Amino acid sequence: MSRKVIITCAITGSVHTPSMSPHLPITPEDIAKQAIDAANAGASILHLHARDPETGFPSPDPHVFMEFLPKIRAATDVVINISTGGGMNMNVRDRIRAAREAAPEMASLNMGTMNFGLFPALAGRNDWTHSWEPEFLESSRDFVFKNTFSDIETILADLGDANGTRFEFECYDVGHLYTLAHFVDRGLIKGPIFIQFVLGVLGGIGADPDNLAHLKRTADKLFGDQYQFSVLGAGRHQMPLASMAAAMGGNVRVGLEDNLYLRKGELAPDNASQVRKIREVLDGLSLEIATPDDARAQLGLKGADKVSF
């Protein structure tokens, strides 16, 4: 059977702020619409965060999530993946509230504590709509993205064991793969393992082909045929690295969480446009895309009938 490529689309995230693009979805209505359009364009997994509908500030509030999750579910059979990375304003308990309530098929799980610098985005912009935006970006200078062994154990127990949620293991550096291997060795994580290699975050590994090859080589050594990988390149690295991932036997992640542009100097009008763009690349490589049910089978997911929304 030929392999099928899973397209994950990360719809809004908590990294970009509203002034950076008028197309970044903020309200539950915007998030639902762009999510449904991205699924219809070919994304089989949607990675979701929520925002305060008035201000666009990242929100961990399960009530806000519940304003868009049922709408997406009613309109598509896409796999829902809820972030546990949350945003800079949240502690780990906050970060897992929505996924605990919604019991989604998937959730993200960040595999190491690290710096996460967003402050370079302050350069050259003074026209902020909300005063929180520059303050938020500046605060990343002193922010620690906390994902200790204890945090990871909590998320595995509260979401994985309790709810049957499986994970997008976000690995921003080579050491994160060894942390993942540690949990596999302890029997707390079982295959099929879905690793998201994250390249280009300030504080993580740089976005270049050599680093991607090294991440894959290391994962091959640690996990053999027990894992599948996907690649997220931050900002302008998104499409080149996703294309490399596809050519290397992996899966791809796109979406406005990771990159606001469609090409140099052109803001993406929505998430679906990025899904269509990576589909052109996959088509050029004669690669078939995975449907949501293909993704469920490949990743051993529990099924859309076992979520709580």
Q: Which of 44, 76, 83, 230 binds ligand KMH (CB under 6 A)?
A: 83
Q: Which of 30, 151, 170, 270 binds ligand KMH (CB under 6 A)?
A: 170
Cis, bond preceding 192 (omega within 30 deg of 0): yes
Please tell me whether residue 15 binds ligand KMH under the rule CB under 6 A.
yes
| 253, 196 Cβ separation under 8 angstroms | yes
Measured at CB, which residue is nearest to Zn ion?
Answer: 83
How many residues in the chain? 309
> Could you tell me which of 236, 196, 176 has the C-alpha nearest to residue 8?
196
Binding track over 243-282 against ligand KMH, x by CB under 6 A:
--------------x-------------------------
Q: Which of 118, 198, 205, 287 binds ligand KMH (CB under 6 A)?
A: 198
Residue 207, binding choice from ligand KMH, Zn ion, none, Cβ under 5 to 8 Å by partner class: none
Please state, in angstroms and rounded to a whole number, the distance separating the CA atoms of residues 161 and 139. Answer: 34
The site that binds ligand KMH (CB under 6 A) totals a number of residues, namely 12
Cis, bond preceding 269 (omega within 30 deg of 0): no
Please tell me whether residue 110 binds ligand KMH under the rule CB under 6 A.
yes
Please state, in angstroms and rounded to a whole number, the distance separating the CA atoms of residues 54 and 26. Answer: 8
- Nearer to Zn ion (CB atom), residue 18 or residue 85: 85
Stretch that binds ligand KMH, among 10-18, 70-78, 187-195, 243-251 (CB under 6 A): 10-18
Please state, in angstroms and rounded to a whole number, the distance separating the CA atoms of residues 215 and 205. Answer: 9
Measured at CB, which residue is nearest to ligand KMH?
Answer: 85
Binding track over 53-92 against Zn ion, x by CB under 5 A:
------------------------------x-x-------
> Residue 65 is which amino acid?
F
The four Cα atoms 159, 205, 275, 32 give a dihedral, to 10 degrees, of 40
| 275, 78 Cβ separation under 8 angstroms | no
Which residue's structure tokens are 């709810």? 163
Please state, in angstroms and rounded to a whole number, the distance separating the CA atoms of residues 53 and 113. Answer: 29
Binding track over 12-51 against Zn ion, x by CB under 5 A:
-x--------------------------------------
Burial of 124 by CB count in 10 Å (0-12 exposed, 13-18 middle, 19+ buried)?
exposed
Stretch that binds ligand KMH, among 7-15, 22-30, 62-70, 211-219 (CB under 6 A): 7-15
Residue 179, binding choice from Zn ion, ligand KMH, none, Cβ under 5 to 8 Å by partner class: none
Q: Which residues bind ligand KMH (CB under 6 A)?
A: 10, 13, 15, 83-85, 108, 110, 170, 198, 201, 257
Q: Which residues bind Zn ion (CB under 5 A)?
A: 13, 83, 85
